[in-house]
């Protein structure tokens, strides 16, 4: 398990950090969602194509499915920040500490103050990341299921120099992975640590040294590799709580494979968000700790 740094321990002696007994996530409704600019290959050709009504219906379906297995808090959407719906990229949260993103693109930097304020009001301790070393939250940094290791990506958005700084918020070990395919510009669309030590990933998104690092931690029985066809349907961009997996990809074969590993997969049409380059995982930011998997018995 990660421990908090001495500086944070001293600061939190005065006011306790938020703690959740149930899995808890933050979502941001797609009131102002659109493809207004192109900052990833998925957005090209989709300028102003998403239907807001359809996006709202799809988002609500994900929201309701997530509510079955978690508490969901809401962040108000803001005009002028069309990608704010992808709230998972604005921070990485663990143990009541939130490492705040410093987005690469000015178009997404407008989202930063809104989430910062929400997290501050909710009592989180904020760990700022410098503008010079871009960091895109859960888009590029994910803990493994028992939270003793942080996987962080670089190569497209997040700067490698941010990795150690972010990991220092929890005094945790960090492993850097190099993304080499522009379609998989964030870690959360090609890599998903799952319950029971499994990993869902697309090997083609990484360089050879990164694949060796992944294979050194996850044995072959624990690695669930997806095909390029599955990966390009956002098959790795999943929300996983216990045995539940929520995914935007409609790949029947993958659902069956995951069922063989004991997972219960719910697929939700999130096609309007695929136009913007994101799916289920990127639409919800985890607030509770990874070991909080279900509601306590009442
Ligand atoms: N338009 C957003 C961006 O490019 C989409 C984010 C979704 N990303 C993802 N990792 N699933 O930043």
Query: Which among 68, 69, 86 has a CA at the least distance from the CA of 77?
Result: 86
- Number of domains into which the chain is organized: 1
The H or E element containing residue 228 is helix 228-231
Q: With bands split at pLDDT 50, 70 and 90, how would you rate the model's confidence at 7?
A: low
Q: Is 276 in the pocket of ligand 1 (CB under 6 A)?
A: yes
The answer to whether position 122 is within a domain reads: yes
**Structure-model confidence comparison of residues 193 and 295, the more confident one:** 193
- Tell me what pLDDT residue 295 has: 56
Q: Is 282 in the pocket of ligand 1 (CB under 6 A)?
A: yes
For residues 49-82, one letter each, b for 16 or more C-beta atoms within 10 angstroms of the residue's C-beta and e for the rest, the string is: ebeeeebeebbeebbebbeebbbbeebebeeebb
Decide if pLDDT at 258 tops 50: yes
Select from 276, 280, 284 the residue to mutate for testing ligand 1; criterion: most ligand atoms less than 8 Å from CB.
276
Sort strands 141-143 and 149-154 into parallel, antiparallel or unpaired.
Answer: antiparallel
- Cα(64)–Cα(228) distance, integer angstroms: 29
Rounded to the nearest integer, the mean pLDDT of the chain is 92
- Tell me what pLDDT residue 250 has: 79
For the beta sheet containing 264-267, the strands, ordered from the edge strand earlier in sequence to the opposite edge, are: 239-241, 244-247, 264-267
Q: Is 139 in the pocket of ligand 1 (CB under 6 A)?
A: yes
The answer to whether position 283 is within a domain reads: yes
Q: What range defines the domain where residue 79 resides?
A: 22-290
Rg (Cα) of the chain, in Å, rounded?
18
Neighbours of 171 (CB within 10 A): 13
Q: pTM above 0.85?
A: yes
The answer to whether position 256 is within a domain reads: yes
Ligand 1 closest atom vs CA 188: 10
Query: Which among 67, 21, 42, 41 has a CA at the least distance from the CA of 239?
Result: 67
Q: With bands split at pLDDT 50, 70 and 90, how would you rate the model's confidence at 109?
A: very high
The answer to whether position 156 is within a domain reads: yes
Span of 2-11, 44-53, 230-239 with lowest mean pLDDT? 2-11
The answer to whether position 236 is within a domain reads: yes
Q: Is 176 in the pocket of ligand 1 (CB under 6 A)?
A: no
The answer to whether position 77 is within a domain reads: yes
Select from 89, 270, 275 the residue to mutate for testing ligand 1; criterion: most ligand atoms less than 8 Å from CB.
89
Give me 8's structure tokens.
């944070």
- Tell me what pLDDT residue 298 has: 44
The answer to whether position 12 is within a domain reads: no
Q: pLDDT tens across 218-246, in order? A: 999 999 999 999 999 999 999 999 999 99
Q: What is the CATH number of the domain that holds 85?
A: 3.75.10.10
Sort strands 198-201 and 264-267 into parallel, antiparallel or unpaired.
Answer: unpaired
The answer to whether position 295 is within a domain reads: no
Question: Which residue is closest in CA terms to ligand 1's atom 5?
Answer: 277
Q: With bands split at pLDDT 50, 70 and 90, how would you rate the model's confidence at 247?
A: very high
Decide if pLDDT at 15 tops 90: no
């Amino acid at each position: 398990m990660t421990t908090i740094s001495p500086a944070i321990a001293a600061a939190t002696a005065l006011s306790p950090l938020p703690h959740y007994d149930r899995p808890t996530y933050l979502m941001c409704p797609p009131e102002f969602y659109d493809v207004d600019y192109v900052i990833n290959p998925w957005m090209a050709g989709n300028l102003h194509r998403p239907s807001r009504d359809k996006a709202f219906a799809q988002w609500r379906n994900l929201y309701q499915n997530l509510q079955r297995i978690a508490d969901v808090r809401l962040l108000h959407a803001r005009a002028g920040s069309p990608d704010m719906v992808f709230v998972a990229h604005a921070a990485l949260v663990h143990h009541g500490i939130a490492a705040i993103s410093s987005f690469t693109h000015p178009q997404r930097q407008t989202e930063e103050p809104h989430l910062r304020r929400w997290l501050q009001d909710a009592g989180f301790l904020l760990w700022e990341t410098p503008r010079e070393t871009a960091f895109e939250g859960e888009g590029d940094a994910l803990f493994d299921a028992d939270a003793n290791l942080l996987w962080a990506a670089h190569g497209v958005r997040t700067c490698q120099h941010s990795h150690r700084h972010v990991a220092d918020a929890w005094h945790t070990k960090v492993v850097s992975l190099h993304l080499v395919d522009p379609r998989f510009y964030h870690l959360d669309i090609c890599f998903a640590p799952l319950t029971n030590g499994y990993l869902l990933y697309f090997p083609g998104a990484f360089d050879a040294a990164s694949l060796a690092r992944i294979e050194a931690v996850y044995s072959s029985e624990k690695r669930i590799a997806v095909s390029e066809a599955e990966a390009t349907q956002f098959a790795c961009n999943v929300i996983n709580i216990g045995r539940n997996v929520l995914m935007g990809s409609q790949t029947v074969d993958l659902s069956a494979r995951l069922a063989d590993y004991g997972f219960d997969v719910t697929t939700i049409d999130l096609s309007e968000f695929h136009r913007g380059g994101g799916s289920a995982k990127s639409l919800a930011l985890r607030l509770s700790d990874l070991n909080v998997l279900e509601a306590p018995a009442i």
